[in-house]
Amino acid sequence: MKNIISNYGGKYSTIFYKKEFILFLVLILILILNSNISPYFFDLVNLIDSTFLFSEKAIVALSMTLIIISRQLDLSVASIIAISSCVLGYTNSIGLSTFSIISLTLFCGIFCGAFNGWLITHYAIPSIIVTIGTMSLFRGLSYVLLEDQYYSNFPNIILELGNGYFLNLIPYSFFIFIILTFLFAFFLHKTIFGKKIFAIGNNPEASKYSGINVNKYTFILFTLNGLFSSIAALFLSGRLSSVRPNIALGWELEIITMVVFGGVYIYGGSGSILGVFLSIIILGMLTFGLSLLNIPGVGIIIFTGLLLILTIALSTFIKNYSNKNV
């Protein structure tokens, strides 16, 4: 019995190793291609500035990784970003202090995430359906709050967060993302909390019977996701220095793409932070390269959609194939 388990674990870790190894190769390939195509690509300032464009999504992608590993899905993240940005703008426009603006924004995200979690666990409804509903609810509420207006004139601290550099070198959002990556990697791979998330993703029923409070974990994960969405909202509205209700439209797709491209199995139970980290960098460099080539934003959206479907089709194909061989 012990033998089987260790064999199983050993085999899995080689697959993981392979997956991340492939991602790493892809990254190098993209870097080489990009620098060949465009002479402006390998400029250090350019490269560092390009991280502005994906760090906000990347922050949400980290917590989304946990959710997908635990066999759930959150489609409402982009709408949570929108509503927290609107709360940020609103509290700013009525003249609250900077501290209370930021804490209210974060609170809004936590509340929205907790609302998702409450609906999913209390009524035992599939998370996909719940978050389809809250996706339109939160987005709709931000339209109600803002109508066709916009908020701007943010305090300096928020603008600095969005546009500034840590130690005059790395953008704050990217810096926070790197720190969070280490934190998440530690929590997911080294603590009991993380092990339980994997257990829930592999078999929710069995983990329930082995004494894991699945509902509690689901609730915590969705609340976390709300929190990180609102952190992303802080950076995003600081960077754009204005807020409109259609902010971050369609981001849920890009965030899920980041996670799934990083080798997280969409039906839960496997995946790693390292893979997600690599895929975020790959996708970021790819879109940066594409935009250097003057490909319009819509083209990039189509490309993301295709990439998402292709990667999942490929990974399910490989999984089926290897199952047959076993």
Partner 1 sequence: MLVILIRAVDLSVASILALSGMIVSLLSQSNPNLPVIVFILLSCFIGTFLGLINGIIIGILKVPFIITTLGTLSIYRGLIYFISSGKQVYSHEFSENFLSFVHLKFFNLPTMFWIAIIIFIFIFILLNYTKFGRNLYALGGNPQAAKYIGINDVHYILIVYTLLGAIAGLCGYLWVAKYSVASSQIAIGFELTVISACVVGGISVMGGTGTVFGCTFGALLIGLIRNILPSVNISQFWQLAISGIIILVAIIINNKTDKIREKNILTKNNPI
List residues near partner 1 by CB under 8 A: 73, 75, 119, 123-126, 128-130, 132-141, 143-144, 147-148, 250, 252-253, 256, 260, 266-267, 296, 298-299, 301-302, 304-306, 308-309, 312-313, 316-317, 320
Smallest distance from partner 1 to CB 212, Å: 23
What's the min distance (Å) between Cβ of 181 and partner 1? 24
The CB-of-139 to partner 1 minimum distance in angstroms stands at: 6
Residue with smaller CB distance to partner 1, 256 or 278: 256
Coil, strand or helix at 203: coil
The minimum distance between CB 302 and partner 1, in angstroms, equals: 4
Smallest separation, CB 248 to partner 1 (Å): 14
CB of 162 to partner 1, least distance (A): 26
Q: Give the nearer residue to partner 1 in terms of CB position, either 141 or 224.
A: 141
Q: Which is nearer to partner 1, 25 or 128 (CB)?
A: 128
Calpha distance 152→92 (Å, rounded): 9
Indicate the DSSP class of residue 152.
-
Toward partner 1, which CB reaches closer, 88 or 308? 308
Nearer to partner 1, 75 or 197 (CB): 75
Segment 211-214 long-range contacts (CB within 8 Å, at least 24 positions apart): none
**If DSSP codes are grouped into helix, strand and coil, which group holds residue 49?**
helix
On whether the CB atoms of residues 68 and 269 are closer than 8 A, the answer is no
Residue 246 is classified by DSSP as: T
Q: Which tokens belong to 21? A: 């190894």
Quick one: how far is CA 8 from the chain centroid?
29
- Taking the C-alpha atoms of residue 119 and residue 53, their distance in angstroms, rounded to an integer, is 32
DSSP state of 270: -
Residue nearer to partner 1 on the CB measure, 1 or 298: 298
Distances (CA, A) of 326 to 12, 134, 313, 315: 13, 42, 20, 16
